[in-house]
Each structure stands twice: as C-alpha cells, then as structure tokens.
Amino acid sequence: MRVALDATPLTLSSGGLARYVSELHRALEAAFPEDEFPLVAAPSLARNFLERRWWLCGLNRELSRRRVDVFHGTNFEVPYVPLRASVLTLHDLSPWMETAWHHAADRVRSRAPLAIGLGLATMVVTPSQAVRRQAIERFRVSPQRVVAVPEAAAPHLRPAEAPRAAPYFLFLGTLEPRKNLPLLVEAWRAARREVAVDLVLAGRRRADFPALTPEPGLTILGEVAEDRLSAWYSGALAFVYPSLYEGFGLPVLEAMQCGAAVITSRDAAISEVAAGVAEQVDARDGQAWKEALLAAATRPEWVAGLRAKSLQRARDFSWERTARLTREVYEEALRRFA
C-alpha cells in the first residue's frame, strides 16, 4: 500500500498538528516497512495553474505521478475531486464552536464540512470518542465512516532532571484563546499570595493571543527545544492545563509520560485520557483552580500519588498502536472506495 500524508502541518514550528504528522509518519514507516508513506505538500511557490489550484487538481496530479493508493489529509483537507480513497483527520471541532478561538480558520470552516458531508473524504479519523460523537452529530455523517484513533506522547519524552530548583507550575502548549490562560494566571496570582510558587507558560504564541505582561514569578518561556521538553514537564510541581476545549489534549499525555502531576479541565476529550488520573477542575471556576494549585503546593503526598498514576496511565498509549489503528482505516477506505 502507498499512502501519502499531507505534510502541511510540518511547516509549524511546534504544536499538536506538527507532532501528529511527524510521529504518525515515523510510526507508520517503522510498523509497516512493506508499505510506502510519502509526505506531500503544496509548493511554496506555485509555478503553474495546477500548482495554484493544488486541492482542485495539482495534488491529484502529484498523487497519480507517485501512484498513491490512499491520501491522508492530516490538516482537515482532502482533494476536491475524489480520484482515490482518502482519509481526513478531524482533530477537533473548535473552528465551528467559537469564532474567537480561531482568527484564520475560514478556509477550514467552509471546506471541511463539504469534504465530510459530500463524501470527498472516504473515511474520517478523530483523536477521541468525544470528537467522533461531535462530528457525527454536527456533520450528519454515517457512524461507520468515522473512527476514533487515540494519539500518544512521543517515545523520547520520559522523566528527567528538573531544569530549575525553584518550584513552578507549568503550562505547555500553543498560547491561543481557547487555552483559557487568563483564568489560570489569575488563579495563580491568588494562590501565590499564600505560597511562593512560580508559573511558567511555554509554547508558541499565536498571532491572535495578546502578549502577557511580565511580572514577578511569571515566566514566558516561548517555544521549548525538543531535548528540553522532558525536563520542563518532569520538574513541574504540577502541569496545569485549563483548556476550554480539546480534541485530545496531547500535552496532558506528554506531561503524564514524564511523570508529572496533572491538573486540567473537565473537557470531554481530556477526560478520556486523564479521568481518574489527573485532578480535573471546572475550566471556568477560578476559585477551584486556586484551591487546586494550593493543594499541589502544600500536599506533597497528594502530588506523589498523581505522579505515580500519570506514569501508569501513559503506558496505555503508543504511536505504534496509533499507526496500526490508522492503517486499518486506510484499508477500510480502500474497500469503501472500490
């Protein structure tokens, strides 16, 4: 089988989309050496009409040239003309939930529903059962066409030595509106009046997220180098993730695999990963977040218990499993398209 994956998310310097494509591609090649998994993306400088109309005809031309059996749209899109089987990954439904969450998602909002509803995508993959249910309801798609395939933390993320001695809470992820960071900062400020614990915010800041004003105890770390991720996750007093909505919540699982205690929201997708393992708090309850932060700062035995449960739960996920389940979807797409 020859499956081409859309490499467009790899142009991002960090974040869940880039992680998804890079880790899935690596795991597919390792698990299925008899298959081929070329990465394809629109040329950065279109040289002719076909390349300017990439999703209409340019991509299909490239897929035919490479004799591709299945195209995997890893970034909400598939070719507009269905000449072969295709799989679309619907990472979440955030573009359709709150306009303020995405300042540049008009293309996704208008085209993904057509690709799903008109059957341009033979099969749809979601990272959680929560998103699968949401997709079936919103796009009126047959349940047989939508498969939930959980993601995983990168295998190199493991418990490591802390990068600093001072205690800190860590948020790591894309700094964007739906991550609910203003509430987190306010809850941390309230908690810090009683306990001296810093807050570290790490990750790429999206253009629609306002810059935060530096203040004592608050570190805006920016993007973290890959070889330093384990240390920042492992060294945190707790990993804090108050997101209003997620399709999976990959940073939560990454933190767990590094042995971090996790305090997160009660989002449905995150609950599939972390229920019974993390401390989950109402995303909009600032007082509850303050109390959870104070508990992490003053109850070391509680934190130790969360750390142990994190490590145990993280063993249930692997990119090898994700790759094998995804390949089953490719096979089903081939059967359905034929």
Dihedral sign, Cα of residue 87, residue 91, residue 92, residue 96: negative
- pLDDT one-digit tens code per residue, 167-208: 999 999 999 999 999 999 999 999 999 999 999 999 999 888
Average pLDDT over residues 152-181: 95
| Type of residue found at 322 | T
330 and 189 co-located in one domain:
no
Rounded to the nearest 5 percent, the helix, strand and coil shares of the chain are: 45, 15, 40
What does the pLDDT look like over 276-300, one tens digit per residue? 899 999 999 999 999 999 999 999 9
**Structure token digits, residue 89:** 């990954």
Average confidence (pLDDT) over 209-223: 91
- Tens digits of residue pLDDT in 68-88: 999 999 999 999 999 999 999
| Domain shared by 52 and 104, yes or no | yes
Evaluate whether residue 209 is within a structural domain: yes
User: Do 138 and 202 have their domain in common?
Assistant: no
Percent of the chain predicted with pLDDT > 90: 81
Please tell me whether residues 172 and 308 are part of one structural domain.
Answer: yes
- Report CA torsion sign: 12, 35, 320, 95: positive
Task: Looking at the structure, tell me whether residues 305 and 178 fall in a common domain.
Answer: yes
- Estimate to the nearest angstrom the gap between the alpha carbon of 310 and the chain centroid: 18
Same domain, 221 and 264: yes
Does a structural domain hold residue 260? Answer: yes
Q: Is residue 257 situated within a structural domain?
A: yes
Does residue 47 form part of some domain?
A: yes
Secondary structure (DSSP) of 232-282: HHHH-SEEEE--S--SS-HHHHHHHHTT--EEEE--HHHHHHHTTTSEEE-
* Structure tokens given for 71: 């195209």
Same domain, 41 and 12: yes
* Range 97-106 average pLDDT: 77
* pTM for the full predicted model: 0.93
Specify whether 121 is located in the same domain as 11.
yes
CATH number of the CATH domain containing 252: 3.40.50.2000
Q: Is residue 116 part of a domain?
A: yes
Is 159 part of a structural domain of the chain? no
In this structure, the answer to whether residues 246 and 265 fall within a common structural domain is: yes
Whether the CA torsion 49, 58, 111, 177 is positive or negative: it is negative
Sorting pLDDT into bands at 50, 70 and 90, what band is 46?
low
How far is residue 46 from each of residues 36, 50, 212, measured CA to CA in Å? 26, 8, 38
Say whether both 211 and 141 belong to one domain: no
Number of domains comprising the chain: 2
Tokens of 279: 């401390």
Contacts of 189 (CB under 8 A, 6+ apart): none
Supply 106's token pair.
Answer: 């008009």
Structure tokens at 188: 């941390």
Residue span of the structural domain in which 50 resides:
3-152+318-337
Q: How far is CA 78 from CA 120, 264, 283, in A?
A: 7, 33, 34
Clarify whether residues 101 and 189 are in a common domain. no
- Counting Cα atoms < 13 Å in the Cβ hemisphere of 95 gives 17
Amino acid identity of residue 10, one-letter, is L
Same structural domain for residues 179 and 304? yes
